[in-house]
């Protein structure tokens, strides 16, 4: 039943995300670094202790504790692409994007290239550079096509560019890959409300158990300008930054609890 509703939402969508005019072949060739074409292999297995330690640090980042995560990376001194990726993500989350960019770029020829493209895309989204965000997140989805978080991030970048059909494709892919992905589900509802499809939004919400309060909040968000300044894993904002982000239409993780 759920799949029938999802497929029903796709009726009339004839332009897939890769047909986005921002993603034409010439643009991709001109904006991608040469190393973007390099094939990468899987990461080498780390010692169990190092793997466990990096897993704990990743959880710190997921819990919104990037400063603590960077401190633990300093203490661990693990030399591996997986460790460098965590550091780049931590720098990005603490607002040190200029330090994160060269680290992400170095990782584009490693086993974590897909996640590095995602990091670059999120930085571009945060800075309001939607064109660059789409290009980088397209690269990320090419490298990691079954990662629902990347699909969700890519969909939001397309939504910012008002490429609604491409965004719908990405959000639906995310929720089909991970039916419990509440963030993608909320962003899909946001898209449906913004494109004047409240009936489909109601059907989708019922299937995914999304309550009235969340629906009302999403309706209100849908009437506001989209913000490109919010990223999926931004730390909890404070002060003036918090006030600026309170009205964003982007659904952040802490709002989905």
pLDDT tens figures, 118-158? 999 999 999 999 999 999 999 999 999 999 999 999 999 99
The candidate with the shortest Cα–Cα distance to 194, out of 230, 218, 161, 216, is 218
* 117-138 residues labelled b (16+ CB within 10 A) or e (exposed): bbbbbbbbbbeebbebbbbbbb
Other Cβ atoms closer than 10 A to 155:
27
The answer to which of 9-13, 59-63, 164-168 has the lowest mean pLDDT is: 9-13
The answer to whether 189 and 209 have CB atoms below 8 angstroms apart is no
- Cα 131 to chain centroid, rounded: 15
What residues does each domain of the chain span? Answer: 1-14+146-257
pLDDT above 90 covers a percentage of the chain that reads: 60
Tell me the C-alpha to C-alpha distance, in Å, between residue 29 and each of 15, 32, 35, 158: 21, 6, 12, 19
* Mean pLDDT within 76-81: 96
Tell me the pLDDT tens digit for each residue of 18-67: 233 333 333 333 334 333 444 456 799 999 999 999 999 999 999 999 99
- The dihedral formed by the CA atoms of 159, 162, 165 and 167, expressed in degrees to the nearest 10: -10
* 215-236 residues labelled b (16+ CB within 10 A) or e (exposed): bebbeebbeeebbbbbbbbbbe
Tell me the C-alpha to C-alpha distance, in Å, between residue 101 and each of 65, 96, 124, 242: 20, 9, 10, 24
Placement of tokens 């990468």 in the chain: 40
Tell me the C-alpha to C-alpha distance, in Å, between residue 69 and each of 34, 57, 60, 233: 31, 5, 6, 14
Would you state the structure tokens that stand for residue 33, as one six-digit string?
């670094």
* 176-201 residues labelled b (16+ CB within 10 A) or e (exposed): bbbeebbbbbbbbbbbbbbbebeebb
SS3 state of residue 225 = coil
């Amino acid at each position: 039943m759920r799949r029938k509703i999802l497929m029903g939402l796709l009726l009339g969508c004839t332009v897939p995300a890769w047909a986005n005019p921002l993603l034409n072949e010439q643009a991709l060739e001109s904006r991608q670094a040469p190393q973007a074409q390099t094939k990468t292999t899987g990461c080498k297995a780390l010692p169990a202790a190092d793997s466990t330690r990096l897993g704990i640090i990743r959880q710190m980042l997921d819990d919104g504790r990037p400063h603590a995560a960077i401190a633990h990376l300093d203490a661990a001194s693990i030399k591996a692409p997986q460790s460098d990726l965590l550091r780049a993500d931590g720098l990005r989350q603490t607002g040190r994007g200029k330090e994160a960019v060269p680290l992400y770029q170095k990782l584009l020829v490693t086993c974590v290239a897909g996640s590095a493209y995602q990091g670059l895309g999120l930085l571009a989204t945060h800075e309001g550079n939607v064109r660059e965000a789409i290009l980088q997140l397209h690269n990320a989805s090419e490298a990691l096509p079954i990662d629902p978080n990347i699909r969700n991030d890519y969909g939001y970048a397309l939504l910012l560019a008002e490429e609604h059909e491409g965004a719908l494709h990405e959000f639906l892919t995310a929720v089909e890959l991970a039916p419990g992905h509440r963030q993608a589900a909320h962003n899909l509802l946001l898209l449906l409300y913004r494109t004047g499809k409240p009936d489909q939004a109601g059907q989708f919400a019922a299937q995914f158990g999304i309550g009235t309060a969340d629906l009302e909040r999403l309706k209100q968000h849908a009437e506001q300008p989209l913000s490109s300044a919010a990223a999926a894993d931004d730390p909890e904002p404070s002060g003036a930054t918090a006030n600026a982000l309170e009205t964003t239409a982007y659904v952040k993780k802490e709002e989905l609890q």
